[in-house]
Amino acid sequence: MASPKGNRAVGKEHADAASEGVQLRLDSTEEEKRQINNAYSACLKQAGVPTYTKGAPAGGAGEWIFPHRESPAMKSADEACRSKRPLQPVELDPKRNPDFMDSFREQINCMNKQGVKVSVLPDGSGYNYVGSLPPDYVRVEDDCLKKAFSQK
């Protein structure tokens, strides 16, 4: 895979308060994402936000922990856990990636060509699936995202 554009350091925290947190990379593994997510969720839980798990049985390898975002404690807990908050890859942030829309269009074209039919939302903020999805749609979606948002 080609190197992604932007910051490649997992776990590197930004000094800029607006983007404080743990920076994910475009090529972060699922395990890296899970560990970063779970550290943030554990912090939220410690600050009073109820959590739930998905994936492996509770406490098992591969378990994902998520906060109940509607909890009244969420706002203050999120602020207290700000340094652990996962930040999406720079490439996927339209405010930090001037080429975002070009790359997004490339991703959409790739997905449609590979049989994962999608239609873009009017504001360009995402897409909806159209029709039935092929069994490998998650792989296609991930491959096209990485291809479109990575340096050529």
Residue 121, both tokens: 């939302």
In this predicted structure, the answer to whether residue 7 has a pLDDT above a threshold of 60 is no
* DSSP code for 12: P
- Percent of the chain at pLDDT above 70? 82
Tell me how many degrees the CA angle 82-84-86 measures, rounded to the nearest 5.
95
Tens of pLDDT, residue by residue over 20-40, are: 899 999 999 889 999 999 999
Q: Which residue has the higher pLDDT, 102 or 55?
A: 102
Task: Provide the sign of the torsion angle of the four alpha carbons 119, 122, 125, 110, taken in this order.
Answer: positive
Full-model pTM: 0.71
Contacts of 2 (CB under 8 A, 6+ apart): 150, 151, 152
The burial class, CB within 10 Å (0-12 / 13-18 / 19+), for 25 is buried
How many CB atoms lie under 10 A from the CB of residue 104? 21
Cα–Cα distance, 89 to 40 (Å, whole number): 16
In this predicted structure, the answer to whether residue 81 has a pLDDT above a threshold of 80 is yes
